[in-house]
Structure 1
């Protein structure tokens, strides 16, 4: 099998596949999941605001109208540049003429990989479901405990990282505990949950204007979030974290402090940055390879000012649209393909109910207007019209009632970090 091979069906990979499919050009899409997931809303699955199926769509369904596109379920583990082939985890190999790498990123623990067991990141549906179960399990176990100190530990949640993901997680956890769960328990008061947001830098949302960062800080404090800036995490274990010399008993920890590009980037032999991203030129080609391209979180792509483009969904989507157009261009076309230019639609972060910050090159918003802008943009970017309708209706219901419907603890037989029994079980007939 030769032709175009696309590794990863995220925003960038899907756009390339769609363009090739519309042009009836053969391509193979390989992904280790059978679904495309809208990562910006994973935190809402983790905090029981949305179900997993609201933000995910089967890859085969997305691409089923394009007969020239083949979808393979598997994980690429190696790239042979000389033979032009990729190897999958089952031992099979697929040859290519053109390779598009869009496999995304994984949480980075800055060399402390042992922390991953105690402070999960948020990159996949599985991550979100496990985090949701971990958070809800804390309240269930606190309800059963007669030890005040143990109850306090279980109801202390630490979020590490003050970027958009960390801010959104901290705000959503605070709302979950203070509004949604407050009437559901008898022996503990979820409203007293201690949510700690830890950031090593000078302020949260360091990529935003300082005034928007200050607004986010004030809003989180109103939600009861304890904010610690200029403090570094020194240790994490199953029941505590150590921050700048202070050990804090915790029930759960969420990691939102950094990501690392897929290790496939290193297999191209190209230049890597500290985050493992491979440098690409203005045409998204890996240096030294005319037929290998990298997109999204895997690509170190510089703007006109020489600054790396951020790891945002809109960046990957625009890169995918651009590369799809380039790969489908005909030799007879008289207009040459110009270099990729990223056009920012603005950066945004939601802080809580009807509160957000939004920043573009020409204006800044905060409060309810920014929240509405965030909601419209995210609903529009969702794959599948039915998902846009579902999410919009659920957000409206949640806004009016503070209710959250996906409060399920999903047991995983492979989990070994939690030995305690769980009181709540789920029904296989319920949507997760």
Structure 2
């Protein structure tokens, strides 16, 4: 099994940088979901950052966290304040005072930073309150760089973003390195990209092929079996000659789907598509549902989830009860249906439960898949649940991630 190391990428680890009595800016991914009352409903990304934050504190460093939250479109919006994140972080670190200035740059942030005590974490306000963050502004990055001695990127979920705090900023700070979470993520996702144990089964879902073309092209050469679910399966089913009614279909991707199916077949990769789907006439939570074989989808029906036969067939493949044999590695990214509606989430939940029973190395690519294993209460039974769906797919597809490029060549202090 090939192992991706930071050293092979010319990137320093946080453990190779002197942190004692230094101001350490940690780029985190605290883009956590909030409810209508502004309460964090899933703190997985906050919890995932704790090992790096604790390590800096233990080494005598002064922690300054920065992150984005949502899409405030470059202006201050209280609905996207990091205050709820700070409250949750404080609850997870009860011996530490979490301080939140009213901005990520300017006098208020500077005042707290230069008076920071070792028992405090400063959580800068939402980076995306400034247009310079998403535009990768060097001017904005410089304002952040001026207030720290060390830069640590622990935001795996943002590594594929060419934003100021991820791309422009690191090169301004010689002592830059990857955090413990990024190192862990690269180890597991890199394993899939560089040589997973065979038989290797991939499960890919979600709405569209267009967002996963590069990954599917890459999987042709690496997997032994492929399960396709979600709305993207509709396009593949049409490519195989099925009528899918009013289901979401990418008409301009049908020929691509046919091409991919031929490529997988030429490589001897077993591709499993749904044999039945849950259909509705109206996309609403209280819609009447019907389990329909893919040969019998009516002209007015919409597929919103995989059906019971498909769930059983996919679960059997995960358990090794198919021609693929017992998988040793399984990667899952993307829901099997309209997961955000409870009535249409059963296929996704069935995959989560099947993975929990598997003896394979199970790597879940974040996003709705990560939410599903958490909702099913089986996160701890996975080998690894990624904190970055988009970043994991980008890395798997061989894309050069701006956040990793920017970390290269950091000064080794120890």
**TM-score, normalised via structure 2 length:** 0.27
Higher helix share: 2
Higher strand share: 1
